[in-house]
Amino acid sequence: MSSLQPVRGTRDILGEEARRFRLVTETFRDLAQRYGFAEISTPIFEFTEVFQRTLGETSDVVSKEMYTFTDRGGEGLTLRPEMTAGIARALLSGGLAKDLPLKFFGHGPMFRYERPQKGRLRQFHQIDAEILGVPEPQADIEVIALGWDLLSALGLGDKVTLELNSLGDPESRATYRDVLVGYFRQFEEKLSEDSRARLGKNPLRILDSKDEGDRVLVANAPLLSEHLNERSTTFFADVRRGLDALGVPYTVNQRLVRGLDYYSHTAFEFTTTTLGAQGTVLAGGRYDGLVEQMGGPPTAGIGWASGIERLAMMVEVPAEAVKPIAIIPVGAAAEETALKLAHRLRRAGFTVEHGYRGNVGKRMKRADKLGCAVAILLGDDELAAGEATVRTLADGAQGRVALDHLEQHLQPFK
């Protein structure tokens, strides 16, 4: 029955994968807080214009990938394809612009109507970091360093490469745009349909084309770096100097442009060769024009997002460290004592498995399967004496312990 399958491009996350996800989000939370970022959660859906206006009509996300729908009240809504636009909206609707600079981090599900494949889903998850209100290159250096520290902390430092480029300020981009249009016009017939459409609207995006024919033309296209004005050149040099000072390794990739329209100056991607075709694990850039484009005051911004699924595929997680305590009542009379003891120990901070049914043998087997360290057996004898039998599962050693002393006795198994 197709209705009992998960929707194409969506997945359930459980077991070891859930632990991988948690490792990524918890490592990120810890680091982001050390860097002075505050957590933010924005809604999973927004008015469609929030994304349409900011990501740009010609971006892949807006032109092909958005989950857009009309709700019962007739509002045009879209499931968020990324976090930046929602955070910029929150800045404006929450009147936060007076508190700038602000640093936010967050994580959660994102939605894009893409062709599902390994590492590419329709509901996927991102972690995200943004700095708003800092036009200086210090912000670029800081967010990139955060990304690098995260990947290093996850043990991926030697599996990723940081590629860096400058898209220049709006003036440089305008100059380059003209040069680029001039270049591609010569080959208009040869361009893919998508790229031909972009020629008039956003020719820089042609550089990002995945079409084979386009890529040949792109390889010989004039470089943006040759058209950067002095301000943009200095800015890029400052960013590189900062990364050098911190020992963050990178290579400059002059062909790197980001998919979304709102980027300027710094663009960067951490890529890996270990994931096959979907090799970008963390990507971002500076978006100084975004907040203004939304109708707010001119506000600098820079940030990145990283796909949790892709990181989760790469990290190594240790086996579950918590070894529960199994409580095993022997006979019906002990059920209530077992129930209360489980409750008491959980409140005292222990991890407790309360077998629900079956004889002692069955319950012991289940305790083994769950990786329990200790079993507490409660039989008639024990109850009469106000005691429990405590058995260490690793070696089968056991002894009687007064019920009142259990917390103390079980300290090593906390």
* For ligand ATP, the closer CB: 109 or 379: 109
Q: Is 78 exposed, middle or buried (0-12, 13-18, 19+ CB in 10 A)?
A: buried
Taking the complex as a whole, the smallest distance from the CB of residue 121 to ligand ATP amounts, in Å, to 4
> What residues are paired with 307 via a beta bridge?
126
Taking the complex as a whole, the smallest distance from the CB of residue 112 to ligand ATP amounts, in Å, to 5
Contacts of 29 (CB under 8 A, 6+ apart): 39, 105
- Does residue 126 bind ligand ATP (CB under 6 A)? yes
Taking the complex as a whole, the smallest distance from the CB of residue 16 to ligand ATP amounts, in Å, to 19
- Does residue 17 bind ligand ATP (CB under 6 A)? no
Site for ligand ATP in 296-325 (CB under 6 A): 305-307, 309-310
Pick one of 105, 124, 184, 268: the residue that binds ligand ATP (CB under 6 A): 124
For residue 91, CA distances in Å to 36, 77, 323, 411 come to: 18, 19, 44, 48
Beta-sheet pairing, 374-378 with 387-392? antiparallel
**What is the C-alpha to C-alpha distance for residues 8 and 179, in angstroms, rounded to an integer?**
42
The residue at minimum Cβ distance from ligand ATP is 307
Pick one of 135, 242, 259, 296: the residue that binds ligand ATP (CB under 6 A): 259
* For ligand ATP, the closer CB: 112 or 286: 112
3-state secondary structure of 352: strand
Tokens of 400: 């009687």
- Does residue 20 bind ligand ATP (CB under 6 A)? no
Taking the complex as a whole, the smallest distance from the CB of residue 108 to ligand ATP amounts, in Å, to 12
Taking the complex as a whole, the smallest distance from the CB of residue 310 to ligand ATP amounts, in Å, to 5
Taking the complex as a whole, the smallest distance from the CB of residue 65 to ligand ATP amounts, in Å, to 8
Residues in binding contact with ligand ATP, number by CB under 6 A: 18
**What is the C-alpha to C-alpha distance for residues 287 and 402, in angstroms, rounded to an integer?**
65
Taking the complex as a whole, the smallest distance from the CB of residue 186 to ligand ATP amounts, in Å, to 27
Taking the complex as a whole, the smallest distance from the CB of residue 205 to ligand ATP amounts, in Å, to 11
**What is the C-alpha to C-alpha distance for residues 27 and 24, in angstroms, rounded to an integer?**
5
Task: Select from 114-122, 226-234, 313-321, 355-363 the region that touches ligand ATP (CB under 6 A).
Answer: 114-122
3-state secondary structure of 250: coil
**What is the C-alpha to C-alpha distance for residues 388 and 406, in angstroms, rounded to an integer?**
8
Tokens of 389: 């039998």
Site mask, ligand ATP, residues 273-292, x = CB under 6 A?
-----x-xx-x---------
**What is the C-alpha to C-alpha distance for residues 222 and 361, in angstroms, rounded to an integer?**
75
- Does residue 82 bind ligand ATP (CB under 6 A)? yes
Beta-sheet pairing, 325-329 with 38-39? unpaired
Taking the complex as a whole, the smallest distance from the CB of residue 321 to ligand ATP amounts, in Å, to 28
Taking the complex as a whole, the smallest distance from the CB of residue 289 to ligand ATP amounts, in Å, to 17
* For ligand ATP, the closer CB: 278 or 337: 278
| Rounded-to-10 torsion of CA 31, 34, 38, 41 | 20
* For ligand ATP, the closer CB: 314 or 376: 314
Could you give the angle at which helices 170-185 and 230-246 cross, rounded to 10 degrees? Answer: 110
Taking residue 33's Cβ as centre, other Cβ atoms within 10 Å add up to 12
- Does residue 32 bind ligand ATP (CB under 6 A)? no
Task: Select from 26-34, 112-120, 131-139, 370-378 the region that touches ligand ATP (CB under 6 A).
Answer: 112-120
387: phi then psi, degrees, rounded to nearest 5: -130, 175
376: phi then psi, degrees, rounded to nearest 5: -110, 115
Are 62 and 55 contacting, i.e. CB atoms less than 8 angstroms apart?
Answer: yes
Per CB under 6 A, residues contacting ligand ATP are 82, 112, 114, 119-121, 124, 126, 259, 278, 280-281, 283, 305-307, 309-310
